[in-house]
């Protein structure tokens, strides 16, 4: 999962290095194929009635509203998986310098706080 190292000045070393990049290329193509596959999968899954499926599988009653929530959960999970593929492979986050991870940890915390603020507004006792 290592990124290509910084370019070497020595031609012989560069030859070896270029070979390394070449191996990365096949990985990028594979990830691209996976992303396309998961796009089609997410479209197909959105037309599956998960509520009905779960009722049948576990012999429980799932309301249409509950079924919708199941569909939403599945779609978000697939999207999160696709997003992590893009992040880890295309954006090289699988192997990055520590400073960038630090920046991203804070970004994650702040964006969670942002979502939490909206959630908080939902329970606003004044307008409700």
Residues forming contacts to another protein in the complex (CB under 8 A) are: 4, 6-7, 14, 17-18, 21-22, 24-25, 28-29, 31-32, 35-36, 39-40, 42-43, 46-47, 49, 63-65, 68, 71-72, 75-76, 78-79, 82-83, 86-87, 90-91, 97-100, 103-104, 106-107, 110-111, 114-115, 117-119, 121-122
The CB-of-58 to another protein minimum distance in angstroms stands at 18
Could you tell me the smallest distance in angstroms from the CB atom of residue 57 to another protein? Answer: 19
Tally of helices (H runs) and strands (E runs) in the chain: 4, 0
**Tokens (6 digits) for 43:** 């479209």
| Token couple for 108 | 């994650």
| Contact call for residues 44 and 26 (beta carbons, < 8 A) | no
Distance CA 75, CA 23 (A): 32
């Amino acid at each position: 999962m290592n990124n290509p190292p910084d370019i070497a000045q020595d031609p012989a070393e560069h030859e070896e290095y270029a070979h390394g990049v070449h191996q990365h290329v096949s990985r990028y193509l594979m990830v691209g194929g996976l992303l396309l596959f998961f796009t089609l999968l997410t479209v197909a899954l959105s037309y599956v009635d998960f509520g009905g499926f779960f009722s049948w599988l576990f012999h429980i009653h799932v309301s249409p509203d509950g079924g919708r929530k199941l569909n939403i959960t599945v779609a978000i999970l697939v999207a999160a998986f696709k997003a992590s593929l893009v992040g880890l492979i295309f954006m090289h986050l699988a192997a990055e310098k520590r400073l960038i991870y630090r920046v991203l940890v804070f970004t994650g915390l702040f964006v969670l706080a942002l979502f939490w603020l909206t959630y908080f507004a939902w329970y606003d006792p004044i307008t409700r």
